[in-house]
């Protein structure tokens, strides 16, 4: 895996574990915590350590006993500057470059300065496999590790919440709820029927052309010029009909009702409830643009990216005879409003809110890159970091104390521990 993917997988696993301890994991959680903290510190002013300690424990599940080490690791890669008195950290100055890829930088540090043990390496490889598609459990054993290490890895992946096992058509299918959070039974059935490689190809094609209309795919038997088979078309239709992908729909007088396909919405590690609403608005924005690009009545949009960037720059789009039908759903979602102009034409105006600006930025990324980015940030945590100590203490005190959970030791590890204890007693 690339450094970027390595850090991303560490972040995903650590976030899913939510404070659970796995004895086999030494460095993987530390890298995940570094990423999480860096994502939330970027752009913030000088912070008091005591305040950061409360927020990190409550929101990021970074225990106070580890926070100092995590901050020192971030200082090594020049993401923060620490102000200390003797061994006590007093203040933290975030200095994370806005345009730097946090995942790549932390991933490089992980590979060159830390390294991973065998269970950690296997955990990363398994999650990498499950990122793009569900797969049969038997395929995981072909990754080259011993069976007992694979079994143990799958055990704490399941208990840790980043692997889910589903039975379909007599086969055991593994799915990661981090990337396939809805209708997992549908994905399990499709994988058992068509194979992981076929599902992976279908989703990769959708990722390259987010928001492509299902009617165009069915008519041309292709997605943005990439040919598909009848089997792959049936998979796409099954995903749309069963709600596994939940495509936005737009109805117009000239083109009828059309569904626009997107890759599955990820789980809570990527999209908390607030960010999920932003993601849905982003899909609706891109679907509206695809409607004008591919299903226009008279005047198709030639440059979708340029149009979305113009909306970001100006806050409105030039009125056309098709604006009302094309952007009506966005007005329902409170993304924008339709202003009536001359000759019964309408102008679409973006409602200037933080959520809508973020949704527009995400729509542009989905169009250009096909994937999410910067949606992991918990805005409530960032707000808490910028409030006074009393504000944070009131939030923490109102919640129940979190008890640390531990994934149980494997049989071999238990035996080794018992032997150590017996030896110490006999001395």
Q: Are residues 15 and 110 in the same domain?
A: yes
Cβ contact 98:42 at 8 Å: yes
- Structural domain boundaries enclosing 251: 182-265
Helices 230-241 and 184-194: crossing angle, nearest 10°?
170
The answer on 237 and 299 residing in a single domain is: no
Distance CA(299)–CA(281), nearest Å, equals 24
> Facing residues of 89 across strands?
84
CA 151 to each of CA 54, 168, 250, 354: distance values in angstroms, whole numbers, following the listed order: 36, 20, 46, 45
Over its length of 427 residues, how does the chain's per-residue pLDDT go in tens digits? 789 999 999 999 999 998 888 889 999 999 999 999 999 999 999 999 999 999 999 999 999 999 999 999 999 999 999 999 988 999 999 999 887 789 999 999 999 988 899 999 999 999 999 988 999 999 999 988 899 999 999 998 999 989 999 999 999 999 998 888 777 888 899 999 999 999 999 999 999 999 999 999 999 999 999 999 999 999 998 888 765 556 788 988 888 989 999 988 777 666 777 788 888 999 999 999 999 999 999 889 999 999 999 999 999 999 988 999 999 999 999 999 999 998 889 999 999 999 999 999 999 999 999 887 667 788 888 888 998 888 888 877 665 444 445 565 566 665 665 666 565 554 5
Say how far apart CA 105 and CA 102 lie, in whole Å.
Answer: 5
pLDDT of residue 401: 45
Q: Do 278 and 308 share a structural domain? A: yes
Structural contact between residues 123 and 18, judged by C-beta atoms closer than 8 angstroms: no
Residue 386 covered by a domain:
yes
Q: Are residues 78 and 194 in the same domain?
A: no
Say how far apart CA 330 and CA 284 lie, in whole Å.
Answer: 7
Same domain, yes or no, for 7 and 123? yes
Q: Does 123 reside within a domain?
A: yes
Encoding tokens for residue 37? Answer: 């903290």
**Encoded tokens for 358:** 């973020």
Q: Is residue 61 part of a domain?
A: yes
> In terms of domains, do 287 and 261 share one?
no
Nearest to 371 by CA among 358, 382, 362, 360: 362
Token pair, residue 327, equals 């952007």
pTM of the model: 0.81
Does one domain contain both 331 and 387?
no
Maximum CA extent, the chain:
95
Do the beta carbons of residue 181 and residue 37 sit within 8 Å?
Answer: no
């Amino acid at each position: 895996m690339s450094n970027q993917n390595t850090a991303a997988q560490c972040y995903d696993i650590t976030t899913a574990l939510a404070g659970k301890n796995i004895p086999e994991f030494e460095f993987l959680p530390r890298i995940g915590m570094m990423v999480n903290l860096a994502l939330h510190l970027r752009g913030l002013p000088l912070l008091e350590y005591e305040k950061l300690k409360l927020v990190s424990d409550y929101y990021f599940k970074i225990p106070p006993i580890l926070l100092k080490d995590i901050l020192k690791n971030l200082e090594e890669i020049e993401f923060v500057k620490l102000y200390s008195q003797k061994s006590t950290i007093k203040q933290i100055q975030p200095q994370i470059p806005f345009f730097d890829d946090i995942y790549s930088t932390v991933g490089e540090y992980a590979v060159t300065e830390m390294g991973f043990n065998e269970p950690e390496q296997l955990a990363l490889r398994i999650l990498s496999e499950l990122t793009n598609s569900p797969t049969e459990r038997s395929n995981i054993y072909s990754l080259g590790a011993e069976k007992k290490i694979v079994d143990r890895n799958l055990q704490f992946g399941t208990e840790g919440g980043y692997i889910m096992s589903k039975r379909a058509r007599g086969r055991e299918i593994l799915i990661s709820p981090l990337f396939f959070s809805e209708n997992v039974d549908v994905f399990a059935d499709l994988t058992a029927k068509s194979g992981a490689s076929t599902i992976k190809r279908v989703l990769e094609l959708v990722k390259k052309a987010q928001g492509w209309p299902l009617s165009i795919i069915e008519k041309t038997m292709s997605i943005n010029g990439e040919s598909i088979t009848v089997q792959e078309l049936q998979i796409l239709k099954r995903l749309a009909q069963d709600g596994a992908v939940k495509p936005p729909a737009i109805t117009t007088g000239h083109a009828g009702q059309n569904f626009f396909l997107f890759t599955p919405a990820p789980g809570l590690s990527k999209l908390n409830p607030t960010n999920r609403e932003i993601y849905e608005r982003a899909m609706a924005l891109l679907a509206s643009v695809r409607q004008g690009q591919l299903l226009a009545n008279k005047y198709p949009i030639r440059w979708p990216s340029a149009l979305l960037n113009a909306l970001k720059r100006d806050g409105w789009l030039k009125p056309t005879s098709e604006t009302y039908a094309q952007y009506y759903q966005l007005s329902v979602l409170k993304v924008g409003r339709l202003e009536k102009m001359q000759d019964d034409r309408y102008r679409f105006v973006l409602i200037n809110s933080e959520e809508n600006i973020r949704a527009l930025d995400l729509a542009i990324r989905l169009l250009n890159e096909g994937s999410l980015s910067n949606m992991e940030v918990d805005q409530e945590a960032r707000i808490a970091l910028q409030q006074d100590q009393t504000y944070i203490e009131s939030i923490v005190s109102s919640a129940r104390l979190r008890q640390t959970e531990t994934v149980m030791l494997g049989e071999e590890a238990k035996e080794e521990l018992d032997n150590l204890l017996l030896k110490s007693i006999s001395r």
